[in-house]
Amino acid sequence: MEITIVFLLGFVFAFLGVIPPGLLNMTAAKISLKEGHVRGLMFSIGACAVVVAQTYLAAIFASYLSQHPEVVDVLRRVAVVIFILITIYFLFIAKSKQPKQVEPKIRSKHSRFFQGILLSALNVFPIPYQGYITIMLASYGWMTFERLDIISYVAGSVMGTFVVLYLYVFFFEKIHSKTLTSQKNMNRIIGGITLIIAIITLINIIFKD
């Protein structure tokens, strides 16, 4: 597959996965507001350093699973159920409550970099998320598990993650009061994304069977 397309796919899916308010982007925004953009960027760079390892591990794991189609079929069915449940939660159950933010205490640039590494390492969601996405993309022939494709996808994922954190660092103060960033609407966005993924997965299962 053309590596530019693989890079863009990594960028888009990472962007969609990180853009809802969460621990990493809200912490980056708060550090930026309290201590300046430079420290917010240092935190973001630290977080992205871990994303490199997480996305690469996810792709390698997905590559292994792709050699065992019977396991992939089971995981797809499980994924449909999980994404439907997540969709129901965010569209109908989740409350409009602001996410809990970590209170920054240490002020050195290096400490912000290592704080980004630590919080990103604690956030293990990207591994199963990226693992599933890479399996889905490979099943449609949009990427392979060749080294160059994996590197391109990882690079795109890191760039997508960094762009989201960059937007939170530099523009959060201007947009946090807008309708788009209200928790209620973000819940709808997340629910919509997971619903689309669930539908795509279900169609893939039906047509494969």
Q: Per-residue pLDDT tens for 111-145?
A: 889 999 999 998 888 888 888 888 888 877 888 88
CA distance 84 to 198: 6
SS3 99: coil
Assessment of whether the complete model's pTM goes beyond 0.85: no
CA distance 101 to 156: 27
Residue 198: C-alpha distances to residues 155, 164, 192 (Å): 26, 24, 10
Q: Per-residue pLDDT tens for 50-75?
A: 999 999 999 998 888 777 777 767 77
Task: Classify residue 182 by its DSSP letter.
Answer: S
